[in-house]
């Protein structure tokens, strides 16, 4: 520890003040807003206690969006974990060009989401595009599929697109966990005659588990908050089939101009999310301690 | 490590699969942006363009406000990256090495920034920006981008500081150098990769930001690429040629940036995760 306390405060103050003003204060305002009855921005309102909460909690739209959010988070977790694990295990190996591969694998994550949206909207398009003609040439389908036309296919397609964007990021984090596993463990196992599959099950998997746990928590928070991809591709449709909670919050606030109700949904979502993160991190640190 | 031939085949298969999954969509989009309109909507897609034209790019640059969006995005992202660094480097050093009350609690709290839906703060923030006159200004966007880049940047820079050998800093202290001099002359030059990583992170974050910009920017002349471009999607009868050209164009700056310093960025990302 060195440096004087005033200097240290001068070092952290600008960053902390900005965070407090742009994240902390609005967060508190959101709670206050949820206890009022303000509709459009700039109009007045009065404190009405927990009426908004009673209303939101008895609204079927809220519960449906909550359910869709849970499906969204779980499906994204499964798809991303599988893709990321394959990627991380492949990139852990030595092969010509591995350095370039480790850098550029993240390509899907560094391009703007609006580009991701255009890429996939075009590729999945039912008039032209690439995927429909390809499937037809291969004889898998006879007629173009409207991937965004039914709630189920729209949801599946969105999950694929979002996972495509995020799996390389998760993979690099897993790779970091993999490189931390001491290589003499593998050497010892090899001398004992363990084949690659046994080495994976006995060494890689258990030692990677803590990293996977942390990544699952981070991944859950990240996928839950995804808004732009869904909004730009389906706007929550068809028939509300892809309307997750962030989409519902945005619609309530900026389409039906009910700020207080939107703030209420936000607060509820935050409480659920924080609760989940807290429980999950506690569970992880408990299993790690054992 | 030596591998058996089965493992080699498995590795080759996974790498081929990853190449297809990641690169093929980009290849299709970029190559198609040079195709004639008839070839783009053709029922039998071509892997390699049979025709070549620059008409989509010409149309994009002349008949839409795309160049303005591009300029706005470049301004906002560059300034956001610089300010993020100016705030994050001293803060990260203080969290790493200096003493002040509430250090650990504050460090943990700022990482919570990513735990709640960012859309939560959008609503009160809009009201706040209206009062401050920051709605429809690029300054407002910079403020938002810096705020969202800060927690991760501080975390990443702190782990870069932690990765430096102790002896170097100790030697500087023995020579009687002050904290400011140590930071500026010794520590900052040593974490150049970290600074590059955080700079790219903030730039990419700002370059891709959509939600806040879509709400806070009203006039077309102040839109960034993501928001302006998403407006083009709905504005015209879907002109795929122009959209694909725009998509190829919007990828270009991040590709250039990444080919210069991407290695450090990925290194920083994975090193930060280890500590």
Does residue A36 form part of some domain? no
Residue among B188, B206, B212 nearest B152 (CA): B206
- Residues A76 and A157: beta-carbon distance below 8 Å: no
- A-chain residues near B119 (CB < 8 A): 225, 227, 246, 249-250, 266
Determine, for residues B113 and A23 on separate chains, whether the beta-carbon distance falls below 8 Å.
Answer: yes
Does residue A134 form part of some domain? yes
- B-chain residues near A228 (CB < 8 A): 210-211, 226
Does residue A27 form part of some domain? no
Longest dimension (CA), chain B: 74
A276 touches chain B (CB under 8 A): no
CB atoms within 10 A of CB B106: 17
Average pLDDT over residues B148-153: 90
How would you classify residue B53: left for phi > 0, otherwise alpha for psi between -120 and 50, otherwise beta? Answer: beta
pLDDT in tens, A173-211: 888 888 878 888 888 888 888 787 888 888 888 888 877
Q: What confidence score (pLDDT) does residue A156 get? A: 94
**Candidate from A26, A42, A222 with C-beta closest to B121:** A26
What CATH number is associated with residue A186?
Answer: 1.10.3720.10
Does residue A20 form part of some domain? no
Average pLDDT over residues B99-110: 82
Rounded to whole angstroms, how far apart are CA atoms B34 and A152?
A: 34
Contacts of A116 (CB under 8 A, 6+ apart): A108, A161, A164, A165, A229
Does residue A24 form part of some domain? no
Residue A9 has pLDDT above 80, yes or no: yes
Interface test with B, best of A22, A109, A183, A257 (most B CBs within 10 A): A22
Q: What are phi and psi of A47, to 5 degrees?
A: -65, 130
Determine, for residues A224 and B11 on separate chains, whether the beta-carbon distance falls below 8 Å.
Answer: no
Rounded to whole angstroms, how far apart are CA atoms B216 and A106?
A: 29
Determine, for residues B179 and A7 on separate chains, whether the beta-carbon distance falls below 8 Å.
Answer: yes
- B-chain residues near A129 (CB < 8 A): 45
The token duo for A14 is 């600008």
Q: What confidence score (pLDDT) does residue A80 get? A: 93
Rounded to whole angstroms, how far apart are CA atoms A168 and A166?
A: 6
Does residue A270 form part of some domain? yes
Q: What are phi and psi of A29, to 5 degrees?
A: -60, -35
Does residue A4 form part of some domain? no
A262 touches chain B (CB under 8 A): yes
ipTM: 0.83
Q: How many domains does chain A have?
A: 1
Residue A84 has pLDDT above 60, yes or no: yes
- A-chain residues near B17 (CB < 8 A): 86
Does residue A195 form part of some domain? yes
pLDDT in tens, A42-80: 666 777 778 888 888 888 889 999 999 999 999 999 999
Q: What confidence score (pLDDT) does residue B275 get? A: 45
- A42-46, B238-242, B256-260: least confident range: A42-46
* Domain range for A101: 60-289
CB atoms within 10 A of CB A122: 22
Rounded to whole angstroms, how far apart are CA atoms A281 and A276?
A: 8
A219 touches chain B (CB under 8 A): no
Determine, for residues B254 and A111 on separate chains, whether the beta-carbon distance falls below 8 Å.
Answer: yes
Residue among A284, A244, A61 nearest A159 (CA): A244
Determine, for residues B226 and A101 on separate chains, whether the beta-carbon distance falls below 8 Å.
Answer: no
Q: What are phi and psi of B98, to 5 degrees?
A: -100, 165
Q: What is the mean pLDDT of chain B?
A: 84
Pairs of CB atoms within 8 A across A/B: 280
- A162-166, A227-231, B42-46: least confident range: B42-46
């Amino acid at each position: 520890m060195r440096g004087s306390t005033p200097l240290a405060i001068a070092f952290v103050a600008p960053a902390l003040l900005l965070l407090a003003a742009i994240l902390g204060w609005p967060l508190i305002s959101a709670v206050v807003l949820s206890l009022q009855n303000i509709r459009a921005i700039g109009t007045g309102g009065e404190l009405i206690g927990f009426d908004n909460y009673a209303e939101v909690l008895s609204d079927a739209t809220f519960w449906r969006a909550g359910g869709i959010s849970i499906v969204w988070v779980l499906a994204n977790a499964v798809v991303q974990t599988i893709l990321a694990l394959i990627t991380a295990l492949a990139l852990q190996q030595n092969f010509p060009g591995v350095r370039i591969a480790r850098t550029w694998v993240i390509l899907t994550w560094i391009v703007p989401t609006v580009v991701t949206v255009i890429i996939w909207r075009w590729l999945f398009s039912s008039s032209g595009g690439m995927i429909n003609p390809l499937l037809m040439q291969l004889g898998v389908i006879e007629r173009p599929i409207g991937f965004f036309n039914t709630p189920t296919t729209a949801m599946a397609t969105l999950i694929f697109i979002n996972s495509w964007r995020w799996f390389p990021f998760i993979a690099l984090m897993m790779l970091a966990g993999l490189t931390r596993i001491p290589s003499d463990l593998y050497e010892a196992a090899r001398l004992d005659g363990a084949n690659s599959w046994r080495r994976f099950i006995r060494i890689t998997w258990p030692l990677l588990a803590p990293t996977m746990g942390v990544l699952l928590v981070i991944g859950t928070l990240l996928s839950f908050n995804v808004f732009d991809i869904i909004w730009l591709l389906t706007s929550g449709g068809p028939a509300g089939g892809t309307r997750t909670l962030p989409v519902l919050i945005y619609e309530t606030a900026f389409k039906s101009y009910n700020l207080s109700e939107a703030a209420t949904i936000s607060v509820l979502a935050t409480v659920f999310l924080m609760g989940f993160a807290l429980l999950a991190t506690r569970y992880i640190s408990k299993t790690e301690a054992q | 490590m030596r591998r058996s031939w089965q493992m080699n085949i498995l590795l080759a298969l996974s790498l081929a699969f990853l190449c297809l999954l990641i690169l093929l969509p980009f290849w299709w989009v970029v190559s198609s942006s040079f195709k004639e309109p008839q070839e783009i909507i053709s029922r039998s897609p071509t892997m390699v363009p049979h025709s070549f034209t620059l008409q989509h790019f010409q149309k994009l640059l002349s008949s839409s406000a795309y160049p303005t969006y591009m300029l706005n995005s470049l301004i906002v992202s560059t300034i956001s990256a610089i300010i993020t660094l100016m705030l994050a480097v001293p803060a990260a050093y203080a969290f790493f090495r200096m003493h002040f009350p509430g250090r650990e609690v504050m460090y943990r709290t700022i990482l919570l920034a990513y735990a709640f839906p960012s859309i939560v703060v959008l609503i009160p923030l809009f009201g706040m920006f209206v009062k401050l006159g920051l709605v429809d200004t690029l300054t407002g966007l910079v403020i938002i981008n810096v705020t969202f880049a800060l927690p991760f940047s501080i975390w990443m820079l702190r782990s870069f500081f932690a990765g430096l050998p102790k002896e170097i800093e100790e030697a500087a202290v023995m020579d009687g150098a002050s904290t400011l001099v140590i930071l500026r002359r010794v520590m900052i030059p040593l974490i150049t990769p970290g600074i590059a990583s955080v700079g790219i992170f903030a730039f990419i974050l700002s370059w891709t930001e959509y939600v806040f910009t879509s709400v806070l920017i009203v006039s077309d002349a102040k839109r960034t690429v993501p928001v302006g471009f998403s407006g083009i999607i709905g504005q015209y009868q879907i002109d795929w040629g122009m959209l694909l050209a725009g998509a190829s164009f919007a990828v270009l700056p991040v590709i250039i940036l990444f080919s210069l310093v991407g290695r450090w960025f990925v290194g920083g990302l994975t090193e930060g995760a280890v500590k």
